[in-house]
Structure 1
Amino acid sequence: MTDDADGALIVSLINAVSAQPDDVPLRLHLALLLVNADRTDEAVAHIAAVLQREPDNAAARDLMSRALTLTVDRPTREETSQDDTLAAYEQELADVVPPRFAPASEHHDKVTGDDDNLFDVERPRVTLADVGGLVEVKQRLELAFLAPLRNPQLRGLYGKSLRGGLLLYGPPGCGKTFLARAIAGELRARFVSVSLTDVLDMWLGNSERNLRELFQAARRNTPCVMFLDEVDALGLKRTQTASTGMRTTINQLLAELDGMQGDNDGLFVLAATNAPWDVDPALHRPGRLDRTMLVLPPDAPARAAILRYHLRERPIAQIDLDALVAATEHWSGADLEHLCDSAAEYAMHDSITTGHVRMIEQKDFRNALRDLRPSTGPWLETARNVAMFANTDGQYDDLAAYLRHRKLL
């Protein structure tokens, strides 16, 4: 059979597997063709899907071992050959064809204007359905943002505007950024992510200009979700900073949130922080970040979903997911990702040491669990002090309830 015929057959089988994802023999046949066509990365993903359905499938295990062995052996040869060939061509044609990469330069000219490329405006494909667990958080989001958008007539009847902001806070690594992207995807809105480096500038007035241009870009793309990451650094309490430049930057942020120089209707501002107690109180006034939501470490269904996600394309066998979920209570999403990476490292090290490529097994996770600890502990200690001594206005009642549930308060 010719290469073109092989390629056509593979395309047909890919379409068939998409229509019948649970057809194990069909998926395994596709994986075999992909291995023979030296498309091992794609083959591994399909074999892993087979093993998730039938962990004891001997044909799948053998094919996985073959695919992983090819994957280990192939890159060094191909990459070295390709690099040498490109280097030879580049040297031979240096007088005619310019080099592929320009020399390093310390000076970069910014592109400005309405059609600039300074800010990435994207359309996220994830939705709240892709967020595991967090039922209460989703319900509050439905009330604050999603229901008014889906019901414009009722929105007009009740005089509900499409402006406002929401502050997400909680331990680091619990998915606040992913949740913000999912909200934008749920709204079918564009998404603009803003970090501290996008705003702050060493020259006087440039930080305020950067903020203004960011908000203008978001307003041009409404409906739009603007995400302010680590907002405690950008909107630090003005009583805690002696920098005049930082104070004026915070003032500019407050003005943009008020929409004094532009219409913010259709612009949803989401902010995330690990330290809401450091955020300037003026940011919490109505029309700004006037709602606050606690994003906690994932519950059991969410942990199961996160672990499945990070194992979806890895070669696994006989993994006791329920045991992993039970052993990782109070772990953040980032902790769970690190757990999967560590288990993979143990399996890979064993494969290199023994010379026999094998899949990731439960014993690798037991070894990783022995070495790792959840990263939420230090944050909870700080949060405990805030809930005990700085919650006079009830702002952190939900945090206090969580700490009492865990018997930390």
Structure 2
Amino acid sequence: MSDPLIDSLTAAVQARPDDLPLRLHLAELLVAADRGAEAIGHAAQVLAREPGNVTAQQLMGRALGTPSPPSPAPQPAGPSEPAQPQPAQPQPAQSPPVQQPTGVDWSAMEQQFGDVVPPRFTRTGEPDPIQGHQDRIFDVESATITLADVGGMADVKKRLEVSFLGPLRNPKLRTLFGKSLRGGLLLYGPPGCGKTFLARAVAGEMGAAFISLSITDVLNMWVGSSEKNLHDLFESARGHAPCVLFLDEIDALGHKRSQLQSSMRTVVNQLLTELDGVQGGNDGVFVLAATNAPWDVDAALRRPGRLDRTVLVLPPDRPARAAICEFHLRDRPVAGIDLEQVAAATEHYSGADLAHLCETAAEYAMRDSIASGEIRMIGQADMMAAAREVRPSTDAWFATARNVAMFANESGEYDDLAAYLKKRKVR
């Protein structure tokens, strides 16, 4: 029978998997409810992170039905013979104290419940028994947002639907048309326009795992270590398929090899090998990459079969700007704000610019509240004053992009950018 408290705590643990006290509390309630099998899994997760956690060990023993050893009762002195103090005797050198058993045969438990309870200790060189040896390096997330949480970007969503989401939802049509579940998509555009947020939304829409990688996760000073890190990342993604593998700032990791030193060229070569899936199949691994400078990405990375599809992620349109401002003001004291007017005054602003605008407006109201000693709400005047102070950060990017669209677009890969610049009348 379902227990509302246990159900509520289970949902809370799923939302905060690293909250060990909360997980222990849930395990204790499960043991009390005679649901030991479920309690074992939670106690095991705690022991995997804190092998010496006494509470988790005791809960594990209770869940497995292992009785705790009784504490030996002290022996009272006889009535006719009162306890006499003994003279101090010289003590021989003592060996290090041996840890007393806790009443749980951990070795037997690991053999019996090896598929549920991970080993408490591993030898040097053995893989991590929890999620595979790479999950301690690369965080594998479960995205909780979907494309419905992304404001605007209708063209981008349509392209994602055709490339990834549609084939995933229709396996029969996918088989009929021979559409593979492997693929790569390059998101490019000015900074702060939601490329990372969009990648997480794709993972949430697919119900897939999400792994985000930056150049700092790969590069290492030792020769060969960077290539190994990159290979381990892809192995982790393959082990969690379906998985969205997000390569952030791909221009730093996959820069043009003609402009790199030999040590970095091998990293780019390794990335090309992993994208091809030479050493392991990439079916079910969706590679999304993001960059602010697609013209710096090595041409081999954009070859068909790799990051062969490109999507321009533009600054939010007017409805999206209003929605973004509303989101960033949701927990602040506001009154009388006309979001439509604010959106009209913030054309070409990125999502990050709008977040900074709301922060600046809050600073205005807070400054006046401190000066006057009376709390006042954030008003329309604060928002418009902030809009005059905070300028769009995308102008510099479009100035560079204009040169690329005009003089380096022989292949037509920047046609969508050129069309936007023409519409925006950037010359």
Q: CA deviation at 1:358?
A: 1.4
The answer as to whether partners of 1:111 and 1:118 remain within 8 angstroms in 2 is: no
- Asked whether 1:294 is paired with 2:320, we answer no
> 1:320 and 2:350 equivalent?
no
| Residue 341 in structure 1 maps to residue 341 in structure 2 | no
Query: What is residue 226 of structure 1 aligned with on the other side?
Result: 245
Structure 2: which 5+ residue stretches go unaligned? 1-7, 9-123
Residue number in structure 1 paired with 2:172: 153
Contact 1:283 1:289 in 2 (8 A): yes
2:397 paired with 1:379: yes
Q: Letter of the aligned partner of 1:210 in structure 2?
A: N
Confirm whether residue 193 of structure 1 aligns to residue 207 of structure 2: no
The whole-number CA distance in structure 2 between the counterparts of 1:176 and 1:258 is: 24
Corresponding position of 2:47: none
TM-score (norm 1): 0.72
Change (3 A) 1:355 1:224: same
- Is the helix fraction higher in 1 or 2? 1
Residue of structure 2 in register with 1:256 after alignment: 274
- How far residue 372 of structure 1 moved from its aligned partner, in angstroms, is 1.2
Q: Report the aligned-residue RMSD.
A: 1.5
Q: How far apart are residue 110 of structure 1 and its match?
A: 11
| Counterpart position of 1:205 | 224
Task: Please show how residues 10-409 of structure 1 align to structure 2 within 5 Å.
Answer: 113=128, 114-115=132-133, 116-241=135-260, 243-409=261-427
CA–CA distance in structure 1, aligned partners of residues 376 and 137 of structure 2: 46
Q: Which amino acid aligns with 1:380?
A: F
Flag the 1:401–1:156 CA change in 2: closer, same or farther, 3 A. same
Deviation, 1:112, is 5.9
Task: Give per-residue Cα distances to partners, 1:112-146, cap 9 Å, x unaligned.
Answer: 64244111000111000000111111111100000
Runs of 4+ in structure 1 off by over 3 angstroms are: 109-113
Point out which structure has higher relative CO (alpha carbons under 8 A, 6+ apart): 1
Distance apart, 1:245 and its partner CA: 1.1
Greater Cα shift, 368-377 or 332-341: 368-377
Flag structure 1 segments of 5+ consecutive residues without an equivalent. Answer: 1-10, 12-108
1:367 maps to a residue whose letter is A
SS of structure 1 residue aligned to 2:210:
strand
For 2:387 and 2:323, locate their aligned partners in 1 and report how far apart those are by CA, in whole Å.
18
Amino acid at match of 2:275: L
Instruction: Show CA shifts across 1:65-98 (max 9, x none).
Output: xxxxxxxxxxxxxxxxxxxxxxxxxxxxxxxxxx
TM-score by length of 2: 0.69
Offset of residue 287 of structure 1: 1.6
Given that residues 227 and 269 in structure 1 are in contact (C-alpha distance below 8 angstroms), is that contact kept between their aligned partners in structure 2? yes
- Give the match's secondary structure for 2:190: coil
